Structure 1
């Protein structure tokens, strides 16, 4: 526990100033790109692949492309061309490896690095886009994720009896999941008193609270997805970069689902 607390304090001391000040809109974008690169590394590590390979480097490049905003990072592209066209060029390179390798490298094998890039790249890219919209929007998403995690843990620990999805995560309970949703809604109500929904998010309060419940469910599902990855690959944690907590994906798994869905709902 002591190691977890020390790591959490140190991480927040680094993380919070970056997202608060976001120097010229660059700091958070670079943070998102760096986290995306680490996320690719962790998934490759779980699968037993080396990231220091042609496909590993391409996967990191693809994730970074998706994590960084078009401006100012991809202004070299022709007008009317977006960064997704550049990402698709990476996909074409993956598919081209099957020809160069004479089918020693197949489309099935290419699917893993492509999906990996999409998963972490789009997730952290949405995180950066939320900050580009406003600090209020970014913190709203973060508070929902954190409130869900804390509420689910506390309620599940005290009242949890019925397993939520034991084949994937044996410790999670239905009661904990419901507690996480309720906790997220309570925190959102308090947050929206300070930052009115219509003014900062373009929605009335009740619809936004309904969305909060959806975001909480989505965040918990993202956590389960990461648990499924680890169970499939037979690993306890996604990485070791955060002592006492595991890897980047262990800490950001919910975020990687919540922020893209927030974007889908038009929050930013």
Structure 2
């Protein structure tokens, strides 16, 4: 527990100034996180990181994360070019690298790259820091609320085959607590939204965040690993910590929050 708390404090000490000031430094960090996330998928698949295909995979995740943000390049064109190169690699290195591997890279690049990209987009938007703060509050409070309510009164499994410790009571509790936290946050930090909009938006994103958490549980179970990585002592890997965010941010964009 001490290691977990210490890691969280160090991470917050680094993250808060980066998110507050935004700009190129936050973009660089998001690019690094996307590379690490891709590396975690590779390690779960027990594939070699020192390889041409991993370099192309990392570049595909980075291209979707940072291009169109601070770099004047069309990220989807870069992504498509990299996919063509990876498909070509299945011919050159067919005994070690195949079509299924390209599919995993493509999906992971979209999953990771889009999530981190829209975090940057939210920070650079007109609502900027206030909106990012709200989204992070919803994600973190959902997680904490679901855990506390689930431990206290949880009896009915939410989806036992994927995550046996999660309960329906905890899930509902997480949504309710997230809505209350969003209402409190927006009463202190105005975002020009009615209370009805806040309730609907925060409830929806709380559910989406929990889906993101379940998705990560599903692919960890598929690869038979406990954590996606070990880079964050006591917390696991980057995918373990950002699983909800990677789902919430694209949906927040799609519903027009920024």
Please state if 1:231 is matched with 2:221. yes
Distance 1:10 1:163, change over 3 A: same
Distance 2:178 2:94 in 1: 52
Per-residue CA distance 1:137-176 (angstroms, 9 max, x = gap): 1111100000100100000000000000110011000000
SS of the aligned residue for 1:164 comes to: strand
Question: TM-score, with normalisation over the residues of structure 2?
Answer: 0.95
Distance 1:171 1:19 in 2: 32
Per-residue CA distance 1:199-227 (angstroms, 9 max, x = gap): xxxx4331232021110000001001111
Distance 1:48 1:206, change over 3 A: same
Following superposition, the deviation at residue 102 of structure 1 comes to: 5.6
Please state if 1:245 is matched with 2:235. yes
Following superposition, the deviation at residue 248 of structure 1 comes to: 0.8
Question: Gaps spanning 5+ residues in structure 2: where?
Answer: none
Q: Which residue of 1 aligns with 2:181?
A: 187
Alpha carbons 2:63, 2:79 under 8 Å: kept: yes
Matches within 5 A, 1:70-219: 70-73=68-71, 75=72, 77=73, 82-101=74-93, 105-133=97-125, 134-198=128-192, 203-219=193-209
Distance 1:94 1:87, change over 3 A: same
Q: Which residue of 1 aligns with 2:12?
A: 12
Distance 1:125 1:8 in 2: 23
RMSD, aligned CA? 1.4
Per-residue CA distance 1:82-108 (angstroms, 9 max, x = gap): 221111111111111233346864322
Distance 1:219 1:241 in 2: 22
Question: TM-score, with normalisation over the residues of structure 1?
Answer: 0.92
Following superposition, the deviation at residue 29 of structure 1 comes to: 1.0
Distance 1:72 1:170 in 2: 42
Aligned partner of 2:256 among 222, 241, 266:
266
SS of the aligned residue for 1:254 comes to: helix
Question: Gaps spanning 5+ residues in structure 1: where?
Answer: none
Please state if 1:47 is matched with 2:27. no
Alpha carbons 1:197, 1:205 under 8 Å: kept: no
Distance 1:105 1:9, change over 3 A: closer
Distance 1:117 1:124 in 2: 10
Q: Which residue of 2 aligns with 1:33?
A: 31
Distance 1:132 1:2, change over 3 A: same
Distance 2:98 2:238 in 1: 29
Kindly tell me the number of residue pairs found equivalent between the two proteins. Answer: 256
